[in-house]
Structure 1
């Protein structure tokens, strides 16, 4: 069966459904997993290939937006993607510039212009965006609060050595970090909501971009912050259910999950020792 959340199944050939797990979308029941969008999506009765140009509105003078969008359309694109950098819009914590101070940051006007020109949008609000922008879109103040930052096995900060300036990477196990992101998203999401399809042209939103543990993917590189270790214990409890089952697999005698310290380097010499290290590697996917 081929369906689209925006049209009846018999008309939709761009999204192919291959699995079960049903849920309703706009009156239709479609499977929620393994959605093939390689042939595009159906919007307003037309198949739209998922190819896009990229336009960083905040790097372009407001007076040049219209001309730039026209040139993108002339190249054959009906979709553009754009980052929405936290650091670009934050003036100070809890205060944001969405065009009130600098016209090139007027997000609502940019979205409205895309709607006028019939251009669909894929937006990337971060908080991590890369985009060759300093600090990858995080406000510099984030790095001054150690509760928000990742730790190495010896409890030192973990840096991403990338130009133009290296920075200590945030911990995605820090609840305080999510609270800070929430302040930004609380300001941004009402703007996005106004322009979600079909009222607007936003057809997709991507959280983060090229994150991959900040390109530091060695299992023992990080994160050993307290928040990450607490998350590790939760992962083990969800996987094994109770400490007795873990002890059977590990051939150990831990009294509880929190008495188990995470591995800091690979030291297994026998196959019986592997589960301890493999669980830590699996936890990195859970993280």
Structure 2
């Protein structure tokens, strides 16, 4: 068996100095059929280690549930890392940020009164303990001293930017050790005095996160940690995008130059990201620093390895930089291949209103519930209240999280948006019947003090100043929609190629492939919604951009017939969708 230890100045692999050159690759953002390919390409770039978070909320989507299969089979992923001859760094949180929904914390965690967030509060820690008791037995047997690839395990994530509860971090160290983790533990924080001091804990090596000015940032880290190896635990080589913004990019040459500076220091590092992948389904997070900004479906991150696994100019520039300090494989990935280009006319449609009328799972309340109260932890929630006949009406929602489409007896009358701070809507005079609000959870905040907040309609909803207290609620979370899509496929009303699509509606059809291959689905002419291919939710689309095409991994496709279902909230000019030759991530900021 091998050993991996912290020396006075270096990491020590079997007693000899060792430089960790890692790249972040999140198994939960990549189709399992493509894990091996992405890991192999990391080694070809010159890296020796793969780093990944573990998202608690994905593994435990409901209280009492824990999954580690399919795309969540972290053991299989780490075994592939080992098979490639590489090491692994595991970051189990419990908080991970990662531009991931709720920073990886399950929404159900905050159902109780007074549950703490990222603190030593007893209710929170009881659930964290249960989580680690489930996940650490998967990781412990794969540590390097037991013949596996894992050389480091991280405690929490950039905690110094959030709090200063040393007792919390100390308990996490204890739980990891009690759970069988014997390799060195680390923390990570941005290299400022306050963050490093707030985030430090006995028993864990401090690492820093930054993307430039390496000598300066590492000097700050050394000033707070006089011995031990220096490491940039997240070396930022790209950035993420949010809906309504632009596609963030950085120069390949400048990124490589920054990496050379870091390499020249002799420090260890982990590239964030080596390969970003995709926020499939409803897994994207959001930021809110006064303005709510949900992250797009693509997590391409302008990383060296693109969302579809293509090596980019940045990949080759960074490989060259690494080669100037360390031996790298001569082999490189093959050239990009254009995806098939074709169009599909979707040929059936089912109105969400028709589905809702016959749904057996409406919940009745004599108050306005949040989406969390009805266990709608992602996706959509449909609210309805009865309207008596009346004159002009002013609808006021105290707070909407995050976007509501408003209907009166099936007729769309407007939208309310958290991002735009829209809370008022004038309804048609004399309208009566059902008031319906289709509320979309666009992603839970993943960073800062708004982690853990409830979704749906918050506070109160009033009409002409009078609160509406009688509500029926229908959950349309990921599980509900996945099951619904399966039952609807191919069974709706027929559509012609020239018909417009009036949402909210499920619109579907099929296409044929000779063999599975990566695709890019373009939805120009459509407004906003989500897409399923063979029952696999490939993510959200929105005409607000910047992203124009959704990545469809070959692992979600089959040779022969493939079914596609689009849930369109608003409208589309026609039921046609197009597959394009490559990514369309939107206008760049450079």
Compute the TM-score of the two structures, normalised by the length of structure 1.
0.53
Distance 1:185 1:285, change over 3 A: closer
Paired position in structure 2 for 1:174: 121
Distance 1:6 1:137, change over 3 A: same
SS at match of 1:95: coil
Alignment counterpart, residue 193 of structure 1, candidates 140, 158, 176: 140
Paired position in structure 1 for 2:20: 50
Distance 1:86 1:171, change over 3 A: closer
Paired position in structure 2 for 1:147: 114
How far 1:91 sits from its partner (Å)? Answer: 3.2
Distance 1:74 1:93, change over 3 A: same
* Structure 1 gaps, min length 5: 8-13, 18-35, 150-169, 218-222, 229-282
How far 1:95 sits from its partner (Å)? Answer: 1.7
Distance 1:6 1:286, change over 3 A: closer
Alignment counterpart, residue 95 of structure 1, candidates 65, 75, 99: 65
How far 1:193 sits from its partner (Å)? Answer: 1.1
2: CA distance, partners of 1:127 / 1:79: 22
CA-to-partner distance for each residue in 1:137-163, whole Å, 9 max, x for gaps?
A: 0001122223213xxxxxxxxxxxxxx
CA-to-partner distance for each residue in 1:196-255, whole Å, 9 max, x for gaps?
A: 1132110110011112252x78xxxxx9xxx99xxxxxxxxxxxxxxxxxxxxxxxxxxx
SS at match of 1:94: coil
For the Cα contact (< 8 Å) 1:56–1:83, is it kept in 2?
A: yes
How far 1:51 sits from its partner (Å)? Answer: 2.2
CA-to-partner distance for each residue in 1:13-39, whole Å, 9 max, x for gaps?
A: x9543xxxxxxxxxxxxxxxxxx33xx
CA-to-partner distance for each residue in 1:45-91, whole Å, 9 max, x for gaps?
A: 76431221110001000010011001100110011110001011113
Distance 1:85 1:51, change over 3 A: same
Q: Which has the higher strand share?
A: 2
How far 1:114 sits from its partner (Å)? Answer: 1.0
* Structure 2 gaps, min length 5: 169-196, 202-590
Indicate the structure (1 or 2) with the bigger Cα radius of gyration: 2
Alignment counterpart, residue 119 of structure 1, candidates 86, 95, 98: 86
SS at match of 1:146: coil
How far 1:108 sits from its partner (Å)? Answer: 1.2
1:169-248 correspondence runs (5 A)? 170-198=117-145, 199-212=147-160, 214=162
CA-to-partner distance for each residue in 1:88-144, whole Å, 9 max, x for gaps?
A: 111322321101xxx111111111111111110110000111111111000011222
SS at match of 1:96: coil
1: CA distance, partners of 2:198 / 2:30: 38
Paired position in structure 2 for 1:272: none
For the Cα contact (< 8 Å) 1:94–1:184, is it kept in 2?
A: no
For the Cα contact (< 8 Å) 1:126–1:209, is it kept in 2?
A: yes
Given the alignment of the two structures, is residue 84 of structure 1 paired with residue 51 of structure 2, yes or no? no
1: CA distance, partners of 2:105 / 2:118: 13
Higher relative contact order (CA 8 A, sep 6+): 2
Distance 1:201 1:284, change over 3 A: closer
For the Cα contact (< 8 Å) 1:80–1:119, is it kept in 2?
A: yes
Distance 1:286 1:193, change over 3 A: closer
Paired position in structure 2 for 1:67: 37
Compute the TM-score of the two structures, normalised by the length of structure 2.
0.27
Alignment counterpart, residue 131 of structure 1, candidates 95, 98, 111: 98
SS at match of 2:114: helix
